[in-house]
Amino acid sequence: MAHESNTLNPIITGEDDFVVMEGAALLVPGISPGSSIRGIIDTLREAGADIVPILMARAVPNGVISGSFYAKKKNDFIHRLAEAKAAGPIDGVCLALHGSMKVEGLGCAEGDLLGAIRKIVPDIPITSALDMHATITDELFAGVNGFAGYKTAPHVDCEETGALAAEMLLESLRTGKKLYTAWRKIPMLIAGEKSESEAEPMKSLLESCRSAEKQPGLRAASLLLGFPWADDEHNGVSILVTSLGDGPPERSLADSTALELAAGFWKRRKDFNFRGEYYDSAQSIETAFLAVQSDWRSGEHQRPVFVSDSGDNPTAGAAGDATELLEEILKRMDTVDKLPTPLLYSGFYDAPAAAACIKAGIGAEVETRLGGKWDTVNGKKIPLRLTVKKIVRNYGPYKSDLVLAAHKNILFTITSKHIGFGDEMLLPSLGIRAEDYCLVAVKLGYLEPCFRNIAARAIMALSKGCSNEALETIPYKKVRRPLYPLDKDMEWNG
Ligand SMILES: [Zn+2]
């Protein structure tokens, strides 16, 4: 059960937003490619384990999860686990969690799930794969014996991480040695876009984790950044180090390694910065216009200029309908209309606007209001006359409708579901390619590889929305203080 829940976003993530698979459906070859679930199942299968598949429920990051939906799925999960136990002994449990899942009325939910799992299987080893943006709570920590976190952002090692979680479980069962995990929590928040794994300081810090886990006796060293767009008392960075064996030497090695990694992290706290160009929304658009004018030559090998609408990034759980950047673009329509290609804006999560376009049909003109349906703080309902260019129904695993629609020289993608815009197949599904456009605005933070590889320039707009990168400006009420960088001069001794 995995979700990254953004508590600043008012959307309640419900049944329609989740992909759920239960029981034998999880063992169908090829399901959920590139995920930690995939790595877990493949590793257990190769080892000849007798797998009892329980349940998978995943959704795109979004607002907190509906209390009733979570209760229902937790019930299904626990019921299936109890059934499995009744059918024969269970040796171990391997989980794929995110580690920042929050539920209406409950807050952090992984600990609640683990508590229920432990009631059924109190004494067997449990390992879990985690997202790099996991928030660790006492209850989550207490329920799991061994943890493996992603070591890449953007996350491209999810399968390997699942495989590591499964290997640790198998090794513990084969050797009879217990897993032990040491935990150090660092009082710090980090904006996601300051922590790409290919940039410093993350590159070196993750390298330290990789070297640490090669020490005899240690199996995994994970650097978990927490999730800054949740106002929660548990927020912060964690180091988790898991050893195979829980005797005094293994404990001591895991404890000292966790402390060393945490101290190394704290030492570099001031080195976390945005990697590339970044400006406010207005300056981002002005800069992009200048870049297009100087670099884009029709007929030659062309590369688009990208502007990330980073404050409203649905893959970081923002609503996807904030309009600050769009308003800055609309103020400059004289320039937009002279661009050599339409400005492609991918895109908006706006179910009513998508429905209106679909109802009108391809070629029709629709008077609509785009944006501001959910994020009413940073979004306004912007009146636009859209010409419908293309419609795709039930796209992808979340079955979203997609619409391509033009307003003057701007081309919008609009989704009926909150699926985000980092997916490399979304634009091709609408029959277009980002590389054919001189300027692409996208509701993302750092660019996914599919965009980064073709970008002439990647400009990050520090726009306003539920994934606002300027953490110092977020009115947190619940996070524990002192917390860096909110408390800039604070000290911490590990
Ligand atoms: Zn993440």
For residue 216, report the distance from its CA to the centre of ligand 1, in Å.
29
Contact 226, 108 (CB under 8 A): no
For residue 383, report the distance from its CA to the centre of ligand 1, in Å.
34
For residue 249, report the distance from its CA to the centre of ligand 1, in Å.
33
Reading the chain (494 residues) residue by residue, the pLDDT tens digits are 999 999 999 999 999 999 999 999 999 988 899 999 999 999 999 999 999 999 999 999 999 999 999 999 999 999 999 999 999 999 999 999 999 999 999 999 999 999 999 999 999 999 999 999 999 999 999 999 999 999 999 899 999 999 999 999 999 999 999 999 999 999 999 988 899 999 999 999 999 999 999 999 999 999 999 999 999 999 999 999 999 999 999 999 999 999 999 999 999 999 999 988 999 999 999 999 999 988 777 656 678 999 999 999 999 999 999 999 999 999 999 999 999 999 999 999 999 999 999 999 999 999 999 999 999 999 999 999 999 999 999 999 999 999 999 999 999 999 999 999 999 999 999 999 999 999 999 999 989 889 999 999 999 999 999 999 999 999 999 999 999 999 999 999 87
Residue 294 DSSP one-character state: H
pLDDT at 192: 85
For residue 349, report the distance from its CA to the centre of ligand 1, in Å.
20
For residue 238, report the distance from its CA to the centre of ligand 1, in Å.
14
pLDDT at 396: 95
Cα dihedral 107/109/115/121 (nearest 10): 180
For residue 286, report the distance from its CA to the centre of ligand 1, in Å.
31
For residue 73, report the distance from its CA to the centre of ligand 1, in Å.
22
Q: Are strands 365-370 and 382-395 parallel, antiparallel or unpaired?
A: antiparallel
For residue 255, report the distance from its CA to the centre of ligand 1, in Å.
25
pLDDT at 275: 84
Alpha helices by DSSP H, 95-157: 110-120, 138-143
For residue 406, report the distance from its CA to the centre of ligand 1, in Å.
33
pLDDT at 301: 63
For residue 299, report the distance from its CA to the centre of ligand 1, in Å.
39
Instruction: In whole angstroms, give the CA distance from residue 392 to residue 345.
Output: 17
Encoded amino acid at 137, one letter: T
For residue 37, report the distance from its CA to the centre of ligand 1, in Å.
15
Looking at the DSSP assignment, which residues form a beta bridge with residue 278?
A: 460
pLDDT at 130: 98
Looking up tokens 């590139």 gives 34
Tell me if residue 188 falls in helix, strand or coil. strand
For residue 330, report the distance from its CA to the centre of ligand 1, in Å.
32
For residue 132, report the distance from its CA to the centre of ligand 1, in Å.
5
For residue 4, report the distance from its CA to the centre of ligand 1, in Å.
8
For residue 59, report the distance from its CA to the centre of ligand 1, in Å.
13
Instruction: In whole angstroms, give the CA distance from residue 440 to residue 368.
Output: 22
For residue 407, report the distance from its CA to the centre of ligand 1, in Å.
34
For residue 154, report the distance from its CA to the centre of ligand 1, in Å.
8
Contact 390, 410 (CB under 8 A): no
Burial of residue 425 (number of CB atoms within 10 Å: 0-12, 13-18, 19+)? exposed
pLDDT at 76: 97
For residue 155, report the distance from its CA to the centre of ligand 1, in Å.
7
For residue 452, report the distance from its CA to the centre of ligand 1, in Å.
18
pLDDT at 299: 59
H or E element in which residue 36 lies: helix 36-46
Instruction: In whole angstroms, give the CA distance from residue 132 to residue 331.
Output: 38
pLDDT at 84: 96
For residue 131, report the distance from its CA to the centre of ligand 1, in Å.
5
For residue 236, report the distance from its CA to the centre of ligand 1, in Å.
14
Compute how many other C-beta atoms are within 10 angstroms of the C-beta atom of residue 10: 14
Residues 6+ apart with CB under 8 A from 120: 78, 81, 82, 85
Compute how many other C-beta atoms are within 10 angstroms of the C-beta atom of residue 319: 31
